[in-house]
Structure 1
Amino acid sequence: MDFSSTMEVSADGMRAQAERLRVAAENLANKDTTGTTPGANPYRRKTITFKEALDQESGVSGVKIKEIGQDQTPFETRYDPSHPAADARGYVKMPNVNSMVEIMDTHEAQHSYEANLNTMQITRSMLTRTINLMK
């Protein structure tokens, strides 16, 4: 693998983790977003999945976003008869977002992003040293 391929793989990883951070942030921002009409569904947690992507030209595998989907776990309900989205029994469907899961996802994505950034920095340093040796 050459220097440019290493940089491309790291850049792919950074883009993937940045999108993962965006999805987790969106989930956290909407963790209390309920429906507005009686019995309406609240915000549904988004999920992100990745896939391996082979660059035909270089023969190097990277990572791409396969899909941004929705978590199909059931909604919890909370008794609040005065809420506009309360059903006939007074229960409101709450989003299926777990703050701890989202925070852990953000930490993992941050560490993966940093690892890819470190790889880019080391590769750049090696490239600079190689150029200096050729002078």
Structure 2
Amino acid sequence: MSFFGSLAVASSGMQAQRLRLDIISSNIANANTVTTPEGGPYKRKDVVFESEKFSKYLVGVKVAYVVRDDTPPKLVYDPKNPLADTKGYVAYPNINPVVEMVNLLDATNSYQANISAFNAAKQMAQSIIGVLNV
């Protein structure tokens, strides 16, 4: 097992969590987007992680794919809105800002944990190099 393996595992975690942060940010930014090029309101997205084997002992993580949440949109009664249906309802995205903020905090904490692991492995490698240079 090498120090580079530890760096690769931590780096894979940072990359996966960065994409997760991007997706969560997109969800928050589009929480009130009622029209999209595809038609209808913005659909919440989420990432699916899968393990990524680096060696016999080292397993990192990667984003397998981004999924669209097909939960029905929230219907808000607003008959004066030009986008209202015949019953006066406007379809809003299926996004709960509180849930997205909790997910954002979780992704941020996971990203920070991977940074800590990366820095610890880097410091260990630098210590070994220092010992070998003596």
User: Structure 2 length normalisation: TM-score?
Assistant: 0.92
Matched, 1:10 2:10: yes
Deviates more, 1:76-85 or 1:86-95: 76-85
Matched, 1:129 2:127: yes
TM-aligned CA deviation for residue 70 of structure 1: 0.6
- Paired residue for 2:62? 64
TM-aligned CA deviation for residue 84 of structure 1: 2.1
Cα RMSD over matched residues?
Answer: 1.3
- Paired residue for 1:49? 48
Give CA-to-partner distance per residue, 1:98-135, whole Å, 9 cap, x none: 10111011100111111110111111111111111122
Matched, 1:114 2:107: no
- Structure 1, unmatched stretches of 5+, are none
Q: How many residue pairs end up in the alignment?
A: 130
TM-aligned CA deviation for residue 86 of structure 1: 0.5
Identity of aligned residues (%): 36
- Paired residue for 1:19? 19
- Structure 2, unmatched stretches of 5+, are none
User: Structure 1 length normalisation: TM-score?
Assistant: 0.91
TM-aligned CA deviation for residue 35 of structure 1: 2.5
User: Counterpart amino acid of 1:17?
Assistant: Q
- Paired residue for 1:89? 87
Give CA-to-partner distance per residue, 1:10-53, whole Å, 9 cap, x none: 000000000000000000000000037xxx52111011110011
Partners of 1:88 and 1:21 lie apart in 2 by 37
State the secondary structure of the residue aligned to 2:94: coil
Give CA-to-partner distance per residue, 1:58-106, whole Å, 9 cap, x none: 3321101011011121111001112122100110011001101110111
